[in-house]
Structure 1
Amino acid sequence: MEEETGFEVDWPAAYLARKSTYERYCGKLQDLLKLVLGTYEVEYVQMESRAKEVASFTEKLQRKGEKYVDPLVEVTDLAGVRIITYYLEDVERIESIIRQEFSVIEEHSVDKQVELADNEFGYASFHLVLELAENRAALLEWREFAGLKAEIQVRTALQHAWAAVNHKLDYKKSQDSPRELRRRLFRLSALFELADEEFSKIRSEGRRISADYAREVNNGDYDLEVNVDSLTAWIRVDRLMEGVRRVANKIGWPLLSESESVPLVDRTDLVEFLNLQDMTRISDLRDILRQAEPLFEPVLTELLSGEEVPTVTSLEDLLTQFLLVYKKAPVEVWNAYYEPTEAFRKARALVP
């Protein structure tokens, strides 16, 4: 056996015998992490898990076998979950949540960014090695995984892209690359890092601008450009929109509740149509709606009559439909947003 494997114990065979356990462990961990991040309302691009392949395990032992006494206990990435985030700050937030919810083995956990020298390129991510806390390991559904370690990698989408492409180039460290390519790789690595930072700054600035819109609308200032953020702020607080919601409720138009998320397409469709109609300020939209207020109920009632099974919509979507009628948009314009309907033609006839 020793001649065939290079080990006193046939560790690859021993791992193969337990690989299905690690596969189940990965699946359970991934489901649990999805539940935990959902509870904390953390968005992420994707999550994936895998049990280490036997060939990869064997190769690792051939490189580092002398440092292990019992590789099945000491190799920490036999089970792995990767979480890919949108923003840098989400990496830190997820890392913090995992530390709260799991038993993290600090001596095996590392921030890869910290390991890079200032003049090195490479991918960054958190690698957290964990095992089940005693209370969870005692549960029947988790008992078979007690004592098993798992590595959780958390990185941004751009860090993931860099790692994927750089892996194909086979340059794990800066000194691995030819000197004539090194400078170009340094520049690319810096651009990826800069892009990550800029995305975070843009999100932060977007939130600040949204908060400014909300304050201005609350103060009665409607001279704001029409965009997704200004519309969102205005719809939430304007009393005129409270009236639209009351009419919708009266006629039985199924609306999303104020606590439910509005599909982005509903907002972008409304912004697009308003710009087509040269309503580029919130004040323009508000003036039109005040003029059209007496037509809310009859027009929306007619539109609703054309729905065999009314679809739950947002206020933004309702406004788009109403304005298409009120502005007497041609059928081909209506068709660009919604399926053709006779109710639209009938509703348009109600507009003087």
Structure 2
Amino acid sequence: MSDKGADYEEVAEPLRNFAPALESLLRELLLSEGIQFHYVRSRVKTKVSTIKKLTKPSKTYTGISDLTDMLGVRIVTYFPDDVDQVAKVIRREFSIDNENSTDKRALLDPDRFGYLSLHYVARLGENRSNLAEYARFTDCTFEIQIRSILQHAWAEIEHDLGYKSSSGIPAEVRRRFSRVAGLLEVADNEFQEIRNYLVRHQQRLEAADRRNWKGVSIDQDAVYAFMRRETVLRQLDRSISKAVGMSLTRPTRTYAAARQGELKSAGFETLKDAKEEIERDAQEIAKFAHAWISDDATPRLWPKGTDVSEMGEFDDPDDGFEVLPSGIGLFYLWLYKCAKGDVQDPPYHEVTLKHLKLTYEGIRSS
């Protein structure tokens, strides 16, 4: 072994002990700031890798103590702007070696291919070093790499292909690398813009009930907000649950997704349209729901194409349930319209449609 690597175990052992604590600390810091991330992972440089780096002809290391990346932590975020949010936390919570830290993103020349990341060389900050659980790690230097998940994908594939710089790559392959890098950059930014749009969309929906849902098109997020905020629907939900003696669960996005498809199939264009129909027919919808749920002869909602011979063998998995999902009023609005004949080409078997119609006629005559 090279003399330069003679102290490997002496340096590596405390870093191995520190790595899990540092990982855990970074996760807690990011979670406390509300920053979402893909993962936080650490590694201690292997002996072989250490010797290889120390003996590079292009470097003038005097010994293992010159290496600032013996302990490395990689933080992978979902979006590129989260890289900067993570960086703020790192700079605030740790003592940064600015001379050896690099924002490699700033070095990305227009004619270069590749995806680069933000690198910090750091130590524990003074306040944390004074805590008993971290005192033994006061002298540990480590490197933190921060990149988005698409930047990470680029780096991993690039590494797997065996190229660490563009100089050794054939010209045609280099051009193809550049095209892929450009696509990834566009994709990174587009995902970020989509996220920002959805955040703004959700903020608009939170205030949509004050506009009486006017102009609010029917999508999963809109229906989810409608289920949570619309008084008329919540009253219908309570009427149905009280009539059948069941409690209501919390609203879920999954349930909202199923209901938005039915609302569209029922011909509603906006949630204002749905609200107006609920206001007009709430009493009838609640009576219909009670009759449908309470009737022991009620068949399953058989889809079109079901073999009649299979119907008698069905054990209802919902039998015995004592709770109803919030938003149940939207489901029975849909069934009510199917029963009335308001839905063109409903997706149910004729046996189910016949029973829906009978249930509707029953509440109308009562």
TM-score by length of 1: 0.77
Report the equivalent of 1:84. Answer: 76
Q: How many angstroms apart in 1 are the aligned matches of 2:92 and 2:58?
A: 33
What secondary structure sits across from 2:134 in the alignment?
Answer: helix
What secondary structure sits across from 1:185 in the alignment?
Answer: helix
* Closer/same/farther in 2, CA of residues 78 and 201 from structure 1, 3 Å limit: same
- Structure (1 or 2) with the greater helix fraction: 1
What secondary structure sits across from 2:56 in the alignment?
Answer: helix
Matches within 5 A, 1:286-301: 286-291=275-280, 293-294=282-283
Report the equivalent of 1:134. Answer: 126
Q: How many angstroms apart in 2 are the aligned matches of 1:25 and 1:64?
A: 31
Give how far 1:271 is off: 2.4
* Closer/same/farther in 2, CA of residues 266 and 69 from structure 1, 3 Å limit: farther
* Closer/same/farther in 2, CA of residues 213 and 176 from structure 1, 3 Å limit: same
Q: Residue 31 of structure 1 is aligned with which of 10, 24, 27?
A: 24
Give how far 1:131 is off: 0.9
Q: Are 1:6 and 2:21 matched, yes or no?
A: no
Structure 1 counterpart of 2:255, one-letter code? D
Q: Are 1:165 and 2:157 matched, yes or no?
A: yes
Q: Are 1:253 and 2:247 matched, yes or no?
A: yes
Q: How many angstroms apart in 2 are the aligned matches of 1:283 and 1:349?
A: 27
Q: Is the 8 A contact 1:106 1:129 kept in 2?
A: yes
Q: Is the 8 A contact 2:2 2:51 kept in 1?
A: no
Give how far 1:165 is off: 1.0
Q: Are 1:104 and 2:96 matched, yes or no?
A: yes
Q: How many angstroms apart in 2 are the aligned matches of 1:204 and 1:320?
A: 29
* Closer/same/farther in 2, CA of residues 328 and 51 from structure 1, 3 Å limit: farther
Structure 2 counterpart of 1:190, one-letter code? G
* Closer/same/farther in 2, CA of residues 205 and 299 from structure 1, 3 Å limit: same
Matches within 5 A, 1:167-246: 167-243=159-235
Structure 1 counterpart of 2:264, one-letter code? N
Could you say which structure has the larger radius of gyration?
2
| Deviations, residues 38-83 of structure 1 (Å, cap 9, x unaligned) | 1111111222222222221121112169633342x33122222212
Q: Is the 8 A contact 1:270 1:319 kept in 2?
A: no
Pairs aligned (count): 322
Q: How many angstroms apart in 2 are the aligned matches of 1:192 and 1:326?
A: 48
What secondary structure sits across from 1:136 in the alignment?
Answer: helix
| Deviations, residues 161-210 of structure 1 (Å, cap 9, x unaligned) | 11111112222222221112221111111111111111112222233333
Q: Is the 8 A contact 1:226 1:271 kept in 2?
A: yes
Q: How many angstroms apart in 2 are the aligned matches of 1:52 and 1:104?
A: 20
Higher deviation after alignment, 288-297 or 145-154: 288-297
Q: How many angstroms apart in 2 are the aligned matches of 1:288 and 1:305?
A: 30
Structure 2 counterpart of 1:6, one-letter code? S
Give how far 1:291 is off: 4.7
Q: Residue 123 of structure 1 is aligned with which of 100, 115, 122?
A: 115
What secondary structure sits across from 2:115 in the alignment?
Answer: coil
Q: Runs of 5+ in structure 2 lacking a partner?
A: 295-317, 340-346, 349-354
What secondary structure sits across from 2:34 in the alignment?
Answer: coil
Q: Residue 261 of structure 2 is aligned with which of 272, 288, 302?
A: 272
What secondary structure sits across from 1:55 in the alignment?
Answer: helix
Q: Is the 8 A contact 1:103 1:131 kept in 2?
A: yes
What secondary structure sits across from 2:164 in the alignment?
Answer: coil
Q: How many angstroms apart in 1 are the aligned matches of 2:66 and 2:238?
A: 64
Give how far 1:327 is off: 6.0
Q: Is the 8 A contact 1:120 1:173 kept in 2?
A: no
Q: Are 1:15 and 2:1 matched, yes or no?
A: no
Q: Is the 8 A contact 2:121 2:142 kept in 1?
A: yes
CA RMSD of aligned residues (A): 3.6
* Closer/same/farther in 2, CA of residues 215 and 23 from structure 1, 3 Å limit: same
Q: Is the 8 A contact 1:50 1:81 kept in 2?
A: yes
Q: Is the 8 A contact 1:223 1:281 kept in 2?
A: yes
Q: Runs of 5+ in structure 1 lacking a partner?
A: 257-261, 335-344
Give how far 1:22 is off: 1.7
Q: How many angstroms apart in 1 are the aligned matches of 2:28 and 2:287?
A: 42
Higher deviation after alignment, 284-293 or 157-166: 284-293
What secondary structure sits across from 1:128 in the alignment?
Answer: strand
What secondary structure sits across from 2:215 in the alignment?
Answer: coil
* Closer/same/farther in 2, CA of residues 26 and 249 from structure 1, 3 Å limit: farther
